[in-house]
Chain A
């Protein structure tokens, strides 16, 4: 039982890492693009 729980936990951690990597892969470029666009959009209020 304890062994099973350990496997379960390591699978959960592994899933978590994959999730962070996948979201980072798309989120970082998107965030960069949004920041660039926000900087441009600010010119409207100058």
Chain B
């Protein structure tokens, strides 16, 4: 078969294969799909597709365009949840190849949508098809990395998920540069940019699919000795993917992730406006753009830093730090506004955003500790629905509370204070959820015969 190179059996590493080849393979995927965070660079040009220099009647509004990103994130969660087991059982190469097809296909379809000026085609292209590429791509390297790095699972997944945060750094200037190259006095150049990005991303992701390998059964890193006495919150046994849904641990971690992301994502989207409104006259539009850039650096760095730290202090303790420090920092932000300290405000948000990123990158290792390695990718996929939920909940919370305050006569500089306290309360709830996470009861652990029966009975996305 022409596509037999995608088979899981064909991706088993030969003896002597260097495991440090796996993080670049994972980064090839995550750096590409991380473009999603930079999609906003297309928003303004796409409101001028007909008018070119200004929005003409018939041009799309920003509110119409906002749905493209929202749909993408929504279908990220949906596809990660639906395809987790298929990804796990088919191996990383098949998943990466599929993600590349969906992601690049989403760009090509969106280019058609721009060309015929039909936003529904873009919703279908970038939102649905691209969203599937996002979801499948996001989870595709996770369990492979954990299997290659049993000694440092947090650091390994942190490296890949850092790529998702860093993808926007490449996509944003690249997209602006491409649009400038393709634009003419009669044409904005968005469609051509989509086509070029689709080609580049497909090539990049295929390199990742080509170099990825899974370790041979029973492989261990040289010199690695598994702990003789397993840690209290780290299991050596596996839990079947759908069985995990029946454990309180899954839902507690679901809320831990959801609340951590809700708190971060809400301010991430509003950072520019918030900094200018809280410090009128002190923070200019240009400085606010710099602030957003600085936050995205901390978002990316936090993904690697916190996940690596979790290998030493444990996942539960890492989340305790996120929540306790987060509560203190969110409560400090209104004080920073009152005393007019921009540097305190910037410091608070940089740390908050590093913990937002850290929440994403630490969670795969948390799941591995709870549910074992075998289905960690699939369970992670199901957990990402928490992200979809937070993606809707966080920005809505920030926007509506601010709007309510402004409508009721609160000065813009103080309009975010209540939001900050609400975020702190959300983190208190997250802290409580994290506190109740205990080791999974052994009745949920897989036994050989039971596992086979359950696997045979369960449906799998895309067939076997």
Residues on A lying within 8 angstroms of B by beta carbon are 11, 15, 18-19, 22-23, 25-27, 29-30, 32-34, 36-38, 40-46
Q: Which residues of the other chain, A, contact B20 by a CB distance below 8 angstroms?
A: 19, 23
What's the Cα separation between A46 and B172 when bound, in Å?
22
Interface of B is mostly: helix
| 26 residue pairs from A and B, CB less than 8 Å apart | A15-B18, A22-B25, A23-B20, A26-B24, A27-B24, A29-B170, A30-B31, A30-B163, A33-B170, A33-B172, A34-B166, A34-B169, A36-B173, A37-B169, A37-B293, A37-B296, A37-B297, A40-B290, A43-B286, A43-B290, A43-B293, A44-B291, A44-B294, A45-B290, A46-B286, A46-B290
Q: Which residues of the other chain, A, contact B170 by a CB distance below 8 angstroms?
A: 29-30, 32-33
Q: Which residues of the other chain, B, contact A18 by a CB distance below 8 angstroms?
A: 18, 21
B287 at the interface (CB under 8 A from A): yes
B12 at the interface (CB under 8 A from A): no
Instruction: Please pick, from A15, A26, A43, the residue contacting B289 in the complex, using a CB distance under 8 A.
Output: A43
Residues on B lying within 8 angstroms of A by beta carbon are 16-18, 20-21, 24-25, 27-28, 31, 163, 166, 168-173, 207, 211, 286-291, 293-294, 296-297, 300, 346
Assess the B346–A44 pair: CB atoms within 8 A: yes
Interface of A is mostly: helix
A31 CB, nearest partner CB in chain B, Å: 9
Given A25-B28, A43-B289, A45-B290, 18 additional A-B pairs, CB 8 A: A18-B21, A22-B25, A25-B207, A26-B28, A30-B166, A32-B170, A33-B166, A33-B169, A34-B297, A36-B169, A36-B173, A38-B297, A40-B289, A41-B291, A42-B290, A43-B290, A43-B293, A46-B290
What's the Cα separation between A18 and B21 when bound, in Å?
8
What's the Cα separation between A43 and B286 when bound, in Å?
6
B189 CB, nearest partner CB in chain A, Å: 20
Q: Closest chain B residue to A22 by CB distance?
A: B24
What's the Cα separation between A6 and B352 when bound, in Å?
52
With contacts A19-B18, A19-B20, A22-B21 known, is A33 near B287, CB below 8 A?
Answer: no
- Which of A33, A36, A41: most chain B CB closer than 10 A? A33
Q: Which residues of the other chain, B, contact A15 by a CB distance below 8 angstroms?
A: 16-18
Q: Which residues of the other chain, A, contact B286 by a CB distance below 8 angstroms?
A: 43, 46
What's the Cα separation between A9 and B129 when bound, in Å?
46
B29 CB, nearest partner CB in chain A, Å: 10
What's the Cα separation between A40 and B170 when bound, in Å?
13
